[in-house]
Amino acid sequence: MYVCGPTVYDVPHIGHGRSVLTFDILRRYLEHRGLEVFHVSNITDVDDKIITRAKQENMDPIELARLYEAQWWKAMDSLDVLRPHQAPKATEWIPEIVDMIELLSLGGYTYSTRDGVYLDVSRVADYGRLAQQDLSNLQRSDRNFADDKRQSLDFALWKFNSKDELFWDAPFGGGRPGWHSECVVMSTGILGHNFDLHGGGLDLKFPHHENERVQAELLGYGFSRHWMHHGFVESGGVKMSKSLGNFTTLTEMLEHYDPRSYRLLVARSHYRSPLEVTKELAEEATATLRRLDQFLDRLSELTNDPSVLTRNDVALTQEFETAMDDDLNTPVALRAVFEAVTKGNSAFDNGEFELAKSYAVQVSRALGILGLRSSESKPEIPDFVLELARRRQLAKQDRDFASADSLRVQIQALGFNVEDSSNGYRVRPA
């Protein structure tokens, strides 16, 4: 699968986060189902936005791109996303991009203007097929365009520019590649002319993905067999965007919340639906994660004890996979997980340890597929706290409840709780 990656001219925003988390969950699930996944996601490191930002910062464009690329990977690692097997940079594929434009030119699909080489979309009979709309009302041919395009929907394959910007020599004139051409070359160059899945945000469906498709198909490629587009991230029902000034950087969010809280918000919403992100929702997600962590922690002794068998009548795995197979329906899959947590806690309280272990094992597996399982090591409980808990248990057995209550208060004052169950007790940080 090929997933459109970032244009590295700024720190990643939460819209980027939704994209990588959506396809990370997809990849994890496909691998869980036994499929071998080859995941490619690019880095756009040559673009007008990079050049503009570099001039503002008085930096070399490539130097600026590398700076923000490093911040991108730092954020991705914080989100615990699986790194793509290959992450090609556009600047590494310039010769192949030039070759592709020459092939399109030989086919009579391009024309040159004063500022670049353009693809003539009037030569594409089904232009707009991926967008699933009639684009004729958007197409104009009055030739009053500042860049001398023939029609408004024609797009640049190559942009002529001076050598003080990003510049490469080419037979049709020195300059830099257009965005839509970069992804075609990188995806087919690595995955072949026919591959299974191309993904990205809904905002990329048109024109970016449409323009990728037409270039590939004009060259005779089958290109992507399937397309997958996720919905926008919103705040108060308005799409997150830098132009509206309502976006929150991913870096800021990761500084204030458990990185898994955003992953949980992404999983709670179907990938094709809008995703609402607010401070209140992030805090609610953090509390939910605490509940999941406590469940797995509470039952960890059972799951690690081989003498406690598991039962085969727990339906979570089947319910989870049925939901995920249904167009990656993560909200329904999560609902099954939460129901299993409730049933597992109840079974544990009732001393049904085989049943409780079955729920815990399957919940842990499902959370791993969603990337929601905590990787944090368990905190050490000081020996003197464990001794207080032991003395409290002895006091309870002797029915000295006043002493037991006093010891509980002491333990809580030290920042810990004692939880009783039919299986004994356990001490955890408050």
Report the percentage of the chain scoring pLDDT > 70.
Answer: 92
Handedness of CA 28, 29, 32, 38 (dihedral sign): negative
Output the pLDDT for position 377: 47
Output the pLDDT for position 237: 67
What is 146-198 written as a DSSP string?
TT--SSTT-EEEEEE--TTSS-B--TT-SEEE-HHHHHHHHHHHHH-SEEEEE
Classify residue 77 as exposed, middle or buried by CB count within 10 Å of its CB (0-12, 13-18, 19+). Answer: exposed
Output the pLDDT for position 278: 87
Map tokens 């409290």 to a residue. Answer: 392
Output the pLDDT for position 272: 97
Report the percentage of the chain scoring pLDDT > 90.
Answer: 76
Give backbone dihedrals phi and psi of 176, rounded to 5 degrees, phi first. -145, 160
Q: Are strands 40-41 and 116-119 parallel, antiparallel or unpaired?
A: unpaired
Give backbone dihedrals phi and psi of 324, rounded to 5 degrees, phi first. -65, -35
119: pLDDT strictly greater than 70: yes
AA letter at 415: G
Peptide bond into 207 cis (omega under 30): yes
Helix (H, G, I), strand (E, B) or coil at 275: strand
239: pLDDT strictly greater than 90: no
Instruction: Report the C-alpha gap between 194 and 196 in whole angstroms.
Output: 7
Question: Taking residues 267-278, what's their average pLDDT?
Answer: 95
Question: Taking residues 420-425, what's their average pLDDT?
Answer: 67
Question: Which tens digits make up the pLDDT trace of 130-177?
Answer: 988 777 666 665 555 666 889 999 999 999 987 878 999 999 999 999
Buried b (16+ CB within 10 A) or exposed e, 147-177: eebbbebbbbbbbbbeeebbebebebeebbb
Whole-Å CA distances, 66 to 111, 140, 151, 257: 33, 39, 35, 27
> By mean pLDDT, which of 201-205, 208-212, 292-296, 372-376 is the weakest?
372-376
Classify residue 255 as exposed, middle or buried by CB count within 10 Å of its CB (0-12, 13-18, 19+). Answer: exposed
Q: Shortest CA distance to 28 belongs to which of 375, 359, 328?
A: 328
Q: Which helix (H) or strand (E) holds 16?
A: helix 14-32
Task: Domain 287-370: give its CATH architecture.
Answer: Up-down Bundle (1.20)
The topology under which CATH files domain 2-239 is Rossmann fold (3.40.50)
Output the pLDDT for position 134: 73
Give backbone dihedrals phi and psi of 127, rounded to 5 degrees, phi first. -60, 130
- Count of CA atoms in the C-beta half-sphere (13 A) of 411: 28
Mean pLDDT of the chain: 91
Instruction: Report the C-alpha gap between 413 and 343 in whole angstroms.
Output: 32
Question: Which tens digits make up the pLDDT trace of 7-42?
Answer: 999 999 999 999 999 999 999 999 999 999 999 999
Tokens of 325: 């197979």
Question: Which tens digits make up the pLDDT trace of 43-80?
Answer: 999 999 999 999 999 999 999 999 999 999 999 999 99
Let me know: does 63 contact 70? Beta carbons within 8 Å: no
350: pLDDT strictly greater than 60: yes
> By mean pLDDT, which of 306-310, 336-340, 352-356 is the weakest?
306-310
Q: Shortest CA distance to 124 belongs to which of 185, 213, 226?
A: 213
Confidence of residue 265 (pLDDT cuts 50, 70, 90): very high
Residue 223 bridge partners (DSSP): 194
Instruction: Report the C-alpha gap between 240 and 236 in whole angstroms.
Output: 9
Question: Can you give the residue ranges of every domain in the chain?
Answer: 2-239, 287-370, 383-429
Chain mean position to CA 139:
34
Output the pLDDT for position 202: 95
pTM of this structure: 0.86
Output the pLDDT for position 140: 63
- Count of CA atoms in the C-beta half-sphere (13 A) of 342: 7
Instruction: Report the C-alpha gap between 211 and 225 in whole angstroms.
Output: 16
Instruction: Report the C-alpha gap between 401 and 107 in whole angstroms.
Output: 89
Nearby residues of 70 by Cβ (< 8 Å), 6 or more positions away: none
338: pLDDT strictly greater than 50: yes
423: pLDDT strictly greater than 60: no
Confidence of residue 127 (pLDDT cuts 50, 70, 90): very high
Helix (H, G, I), strand (E, B) or coil at 323: helix
Give backbone dihedrals phi and psi of 125, rounded to 5 degrees, phi first. -65, -35
